[in-house]
Chain A
């Protein structure tokens, strides 16, 4: 039980990192990025290809992360341009459709070109006991990276001027412009950051289980559930939701079975929409 909860928290932080990018892109520009998981997998596969091509693993990961971030940046500056010109419902719908189409394209391309490629980072060494639970080195490193990334993000949003600027655009775009903040620049930066974070989650996941070319939809679904439960646009909500869902996930797969976990998560998301439509923290950024 203790192991399940500890596992759940680590998994939950990964969920949080995955959801936070989706939630921010939506909060800033009204675009529900249905290709979020595909960007993660794209970065992971590029990491695997770079490694196969002879790069050491750390630089290979850096290449993957850089590519995922660049993909986000380029998407914002190209495909999303006509979307941002629209307002209200048409913007949400066009964003949704374009990103869904992109998800299919990335999935299709990867399956066609690299059908058996996957990223699996194996880290050796004996299990290390943490709070009486023996954890593998791979999951420990994954946890450490995830916690560090989560903490840096929170610090960025709470303490830096740039982080405050991002939150200000979500809370009141017109107010942000009056302060001299350019919302378009903020959106581009966040789209790139969300690609980076999604890829980082894929890389840390690959330290405990392989990430394959068909995993995009799984990551997207998870990110969507986390963002909905946390409240679209809420950073702290995404992390809280991630941790709650991570624990739900590990406990239900521990006591019931892995087959039930995605259903449990979707039930949690559906319940949230019914009980608290604006998310567990009530739509706070």
Chain B
């Protein structure tokens, strides 16, 4: 698929994963990998199964088939807190911040169970200077864009080996969405592995090296970002080009 050596095992391997709710599968036999240092996008429209797939990978819900391996360990049946401690940080679209806690306390909990190092905190504040200004403000009283910064910052506090984001631009104005992606690009330059689910396809493909198109819970297409961006079907369906 990419030019990586077949000998090195990918950081994340999702094989034949199916998942759903109340006995009805929403995601069917999804297989893909994320190598160390990769930026991979899962693109698809609303209801394609992106969130279900991500929730299954991070242990928030149980799959109905297939396996998930992360860093050489099978995490298929691991709980969300175990997956998080293994170094896979997930930022859900709804963010799930602690609304009655300060920005600082939210970030501190990101490093749980350790006490966060001052350097790590400084790194997050460098990436999002706005958070340094609002350190003592309750997360619940912040704007959507600021909450997204807290959510990403909190995920980074654990020094993750893989950062997974589900639609980080949800509810953000176009300018803020672009800013969010600039921050992600900066993280990526520092070598962080990123897996992102997105329906704002141009943004996602600009960030990622390669992507998968998810439709009705199945992967329909895979390729490098350039290949996908020039694919006529993708252009028609997601890039608004006839």
Contact = CB atoms under 8 A, between A and B. Distances in A.
A169 to B, nearest CB: 9
A171 B98 contact: yes
B232 interface: no
Interface in B87-126: 89-92, 95-101, 105, 108-110, 112-115
Contacts of B80: 174, 177-178
A172 B81 contact: no
A285 B100 CA distance: 7
B98 A178 contact: no
A256 interface: no
Interface residues of A, number: 19
Interface in B113-169: 113-115, 154-155, 158
Contacts of B186: none
Nearest to A284: B100
B91 to A, nearest CB: 8
Contact of A161 (B81, B113, B158): B113
A174 B96 CA distance: 7
Interface residues of B, number: 30
A181 interface: yes
Contacts of B112: 161, 165, 179-181
A171 B101 CA distance: 9
Contact of A181 (B81, B89, B97): B81
A108 interface: no
Contacts of A177: 59-60, 79-81, 84
A161 B60 contact: no
A183 B112 CA distance: 13
B73 to A, nearest CB: 15
A179 B79 contact: no
B78 to A, nearest CB: 11
A180 B59 CA distance: 11
B171 to A, nearest CB: 17
A220 interface: no
Contacts of A183: 81
Contacts of A181: 81, 109, 112
Nearest to B80: A177
6 contacts: A164-B101, A172-B99, A178-B84, A179-B81, A180-B84, A182-B79
Interface of B: 58-60, 79-81, 84-85, 89-92, 95-101, 105, 108-110, 112-115, 154-155, 158
The 9 closest A-B CB pairs, nearest first, are: A175-B96, A177-B80, A180-B84, A180-B85, A171-B98, A182-B81, A179-B112, A179-B109, A174-B96
